[in-house]
């Protein structure tokens, strides 16, 4: 399986691993969902076959029920034939059936006339007009509501073109989906679902470890302690180097020669200051 996780990570997990884990989950979850849907389709297909077999048996039972009704009708005719001729008994039963059918048909026709017209055309036209005005304002052309007008035909053609384009895009997406997720058998789907479910469990455990505050706190505390020790070592090394340089400077043989010009300059400066003060006091 592509993008398999490398297994459990160490306790010192970095926060930088969290985006990668979330990206892996976002890639695994759709594939798992697609396989779940495909597995559900296979299961529904199997159940559909079972329902078809059950429907066939129900159909056979219905046929025999109809035969039972026919047998009861024949029995009724033969029963009436004991008190009248057989042909008259059959006509009597047929007349009863015809009467029942006529009554039912008349009642149904009456109800149908009461419900006519089945489609409230004027109401639908008014609603479409209101929607057009709400959408386009005064620019709405009411002629488009007439199916035989050129405007309506043009709008219908544009709508059909948009529908065809949407259908083509949908078919392209379905073809791409079938290419990315080819049809697999039921055992293959079950195997993939099991493997990916185990993988998701591992990734979820790693995500829980990465999001655990205690684990991350211990890790950050350890990193801070390491940095502090490194800083202390660097400071000690710098102090040692500075001490060695200072000792070397103090032990140098040229130190008196370097200080003599400075001492002379300081004495001259002091004498100049005293002279200026005397001049100020005199004047």
Distance of CA 131 to the CA centre of its chain: 33
pLDDT, tens only, 62-94: 999 999 999 999 999 898 888 888 888 889 889
Model pLDDT, residue 144 = 75
Query: At residue 139, does pLDDT exceed 50?
Result: yes
Report the predicted TM-score, pTM, of the whole model to 2 decimal places: 0.41
| More reliable by pLDDT, 149 or 44 | 44
H helix and E strand count, the chain: 7, 0
Query: At residue 15, does pLDDT exceed 70?
Result: no
| More reliable by pLDDT, 27 or 268 | 27
Residue 206, judged by CB atoms within 10 A of its CB (0-12, 13-18, 19+), counts as: buried
DSSP 149: S
Query: At residue 261, does pLDDT exceed 60?
Result: yes
Best mean pLDDT range from 37-46, 133-142, 149-158, 234-243: 37-46
Structure confidence at residue 11 as a pLDDT band (50, 70, 90): very low
Q: Mean pLDDT for the chain?
A: 78
| More reliable by pLDDT, 29 or 45 | 45
- In this structure, of 123-132, 162-171, 227-236, 252-261, the range with the lowest mean pLDDT score is 252-261
Between the CA atoms of 125, 126, 129 and 130, what dihedral angle is there, to the nearest 10 degrees? -150
Model pLDDT, residue 2 = 44
Average pLDDT of span 178-204:
79
Helix axis angle, 186-210 to 17-80, nearest 10° = 140
Model pLDDT, residue 260 = 65
């Amino acid at each position: 399986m592509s993008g398999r996780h490398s297994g459990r990570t160490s306790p010192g997990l970095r926060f930088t691993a969290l985006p990668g884990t979330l990206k892996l989950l976002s890639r695994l979850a759709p594939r798992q969902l697609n396989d779940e849907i495909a597995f559900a389709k296979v299961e529904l297909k199997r159940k559909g076959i079972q329902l078809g077999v059950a429907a066939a048996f129900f159909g056979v039972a219905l046929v025999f029920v109809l035969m039972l009704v026919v047998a009861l009708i024949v029995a009724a005719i033969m029963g009436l034939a004991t008190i009248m001729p057989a042909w008259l008994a059959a006509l009597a039963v047929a007349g009863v059936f015809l009467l029942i059918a006529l009554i039912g048909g008349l009642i149904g026709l009456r109800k149908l006339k009461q419900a006519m017209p089945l489609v409230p055309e004027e109401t639908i036209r008014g609603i479409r007009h209101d929607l057009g005005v709400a959408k386009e304002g005064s620019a709405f052309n009411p002629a488009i509501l007439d199916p035989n007008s050129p405007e309506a035909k043009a709008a219908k053609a544009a709508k059909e073109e948009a529908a065809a384009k949407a259908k083509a895009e949908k078919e392209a997406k379905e073809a791409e989906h079938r290419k990315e997720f080819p049809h697999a058998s039921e055992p293959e789907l079950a195997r993939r679902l099991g493997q990916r479910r185990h993988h998701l469990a591992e990734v979820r455990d790693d995500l829980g470890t990465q999001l655990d505050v205690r684990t991350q706190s211990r890790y950050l505390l350890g990193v801070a302690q390491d940095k502090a020790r490194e800083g202390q070592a660097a400071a000690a090394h710098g102090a040692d180097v500075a001490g060695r340089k200072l000792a070397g400077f103090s032990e140098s043989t040229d130190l008196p020669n370097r200080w003599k010009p400075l001492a002379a300059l300081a004495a001259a400066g002091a004498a100049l200051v005293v002279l200026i003060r005397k001049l100020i006091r005199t004047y």
